Chain A
């Protein structure tokens, strides 16, 4: 209610004449102040409050908090755009990121809650008796949470700079302040209640524009129901555009340019001088035969814009070569596994299924999500809490594909075929902000927009929806605030996971078991600060490929944690040595596959030789977990059978977590 009132107030202020920059500032400040206020109110130095919010978070609120914890900047801003660009292929993310909760509910949440300690390495330490398993757990937890954290802070910087006009680096540090005010003062308790607030903001921010857009195009404000009819129209329109002669002509222009660039690139450095001479010749000729002023000017311009030296030419022609991607006909949105040949289709299908698998198992193994189920008041509540989590998460994920189709409909029918002189205002404003998000050029100079002339980046879909739907700018501010909430909440959860792994598992359990509660929490807070600064530093350098890092976190967590956790609960025979071997080998093979197959990592490790010689079974590196997880299971099972049975205490722990509560008088029988 408060949020709606606030938006209405700002909407009125916009009418009165508040400028866009100020609306941005007000949204940024108001939301961060709100989160900070919750953080200050929830400050605590009690261990149970700090680590697990006192274990009395009601199921529904824990569900909301998990939702916010879960949905990152990538889900909020990037997902609908990915679906717009990839159609069916993008649905791997939708199924993977929701289906994972079925695994959480069935295999982990109730048992971890019954175990009832503070971190995931805690469980590994208790079940596989000793510091070795705990240390491996700490290592995996930090590895996957840190890469994920860097991606979130990067997202925070991006949104803050878009919202306010601060530079990216300043945006990172403003956002960092927002993250720290919650987690620093009140640990898990503050983070939980902030995340509840953040969930409400982000879901409202996501839904309002989509509902509006749906009402505009279908007359039905429920996009999830209404977009079936729109889908039909989009499919029909796709068919028209595939065979439209003008579309084909534009695609041909791109293909020709790429061909020319390819020949020139192959002929470097000779082709550079050749091209230069040729243009100069054209100009001289035009001057000599006293051609019209216009053609002399054009020839002069061609000479002026010609690359200055060989390196510049190489860069420019490589850009032209990349136009090849735009010369292909548009993909059909509903077509599964589009490809030229039957074998390529099968490879696409294999990769789709593998990605779904990795994202699902990864979801069920990310420590910042699993720790959330420590905070409920009991096993029963933990089970209910997963239901609420999945429900709240599904709200957004079921809407994203609808949004993608609605925006596609808008662009295919309203924008394509319109005149360049009368482009909608949102097109011009976004093309000015960032040409990688949106650029439209009249390639064939007919004054009409062709689909092939539009180049679109995935983030624009969510960011521009309010304007496409014809809503006032204040809603755009709300959307940006929603994206910020998504990034901040995930960053909070991750930061806390890393700091707790270091302070609780490493410092308290292994270095200084006699540390007092106050000291432990102080250490945790100090570490929190260091980790946050380090992550911000890495994010500000913008060096790594952020999207890849996020998916890497899933595969690493999946192969590191999932087999050891699940077998630890479901198979009493699992031994400590086996679990450690399984975790290490799973992570190692996943990491090896990524390092040898992903270009950025290959560069980092200096791996040469063709990628295909390192590729197994045509699998993309994003799904590396598809090798790590089965290997982890296999190693654990085989090694377990060859090592000494687990101790009585370890077996007792398994029995303990399998049942919510044993009756006090175990001999007293009931009529069961």
Chain B
């Protein structure tokens, strides 16, 4: 595979993971908040929708961002695009 092709494939995979993570983020934020009145069953003392907005969503955000960093750093390496001292200077 030449570099241009690798670049395209790398970008496609990047777009895919970005889209998946955005969908998860959208669900825990907007979908849960939209149904907040229906989802107010007791969850360890909190109404569930309150807990989601106050803690659950935040923990998911941290997980999403962590997963993205981890996944992309590995993808860089797999495609030979990771930063080394050689190659172009940024």
Contacts and interface: CB of A to CB of B under 8 A. Distances in A.
Given A228-B46, A386-B69, A667-B2, A114 B90 contact: yes
A336 B36 contact: yes
A402 B50 CA distance: 11
Interface string B60-83: 011011101100110010111111
B80 to A, nearest CB: 5
A659 interface: yes
Contacts of B55: 224, 398, 401
A106 B22 contact: yes
A663 interface: yes
Interface in A644-672: 655, 658-664, 666-667, 669-670, 672
B25 A88 contact: no
A334 B46 CA distance: 8
A308 interface: no
Interface residues of B, number: 56
Interface string A343-355: 0010001001100
**Residue with the greatest number of chain B CB neighbours at <10 A, chosen from A114, A336, A386:** A336
A380 B82 contact: yes
A659 B10 contact: yes
A352 B29 CA distance: 11
B62 A664 contact: no
Given A356-B30, A383-B68, A659 B37 contact: no
Contacts of B22: 102, 106
B11 A658 contact: yes
Most buried by A among B7, B58, B76, B88: B58
Given A660-B81, A661-B81, A401 B61 contact: no
A91 interface: yes
A110 B55 CA distance: 26
A51 interface: no
Interface string B20-61: 011001000110011011001011111101110111011101
A570 B36 CA distance: 33
B29 A383 contact: no
- Give chain A's interface secondary structure class: helix
Contacts of A98: 57-58, 61
A26 interface: no
A88 B18 CA distance: 29
A228 B52 CA distance: 12
B87 A661 contact: yes
Contact of B45 (A231, A337, A664): A231
Interface string A127-140: 00000000000000
A669 B15 CA distance: 23
B37 A662 contact: no
B17 to A, nearest CB: 9
Nearest to A336: B36
A383 B37 CA distance: 36
Interface stretch (A12-20, A150-158, A387-395, A555-563): A387-395
Given A397-B58, A662-B87, A88 B50 contact: yes
Contacts of B58: 94-95, 98, 394, 397-398
B40 to A, nearest CB: 7
A384 B72 CA distance: 10
Contacts of A367: none
Contacts of B34: 349, 353
Nearest to B14: A658
19 contacts: A94-B53, A99-B25, A101-B61, A102-B65, A106-B21, A106-B68, A228-B46, A230-B45, A353-B33, A353-B34, A356-B33, A391-B62, A398-B55, A659-B81, A660-B82, A661-B81, A661-B82, A661-B88, A672-B78
Given A228-B44, A228-B45, A334-B46, 10 more contacts: A94-B53, A98-B58, A105-B64, A106-B18, A333-B50, A336-B36, A390-B61, A394-B59, A661-B83, A667-B2
> What are the 9 tightest A-B residue pairs by CB atom distance, in nearest-first order?
A228-B45, A336-B36, A383-B69, A91-B53, A334-B47, A401-B54, A232-B45, A664-B87, A228-B44
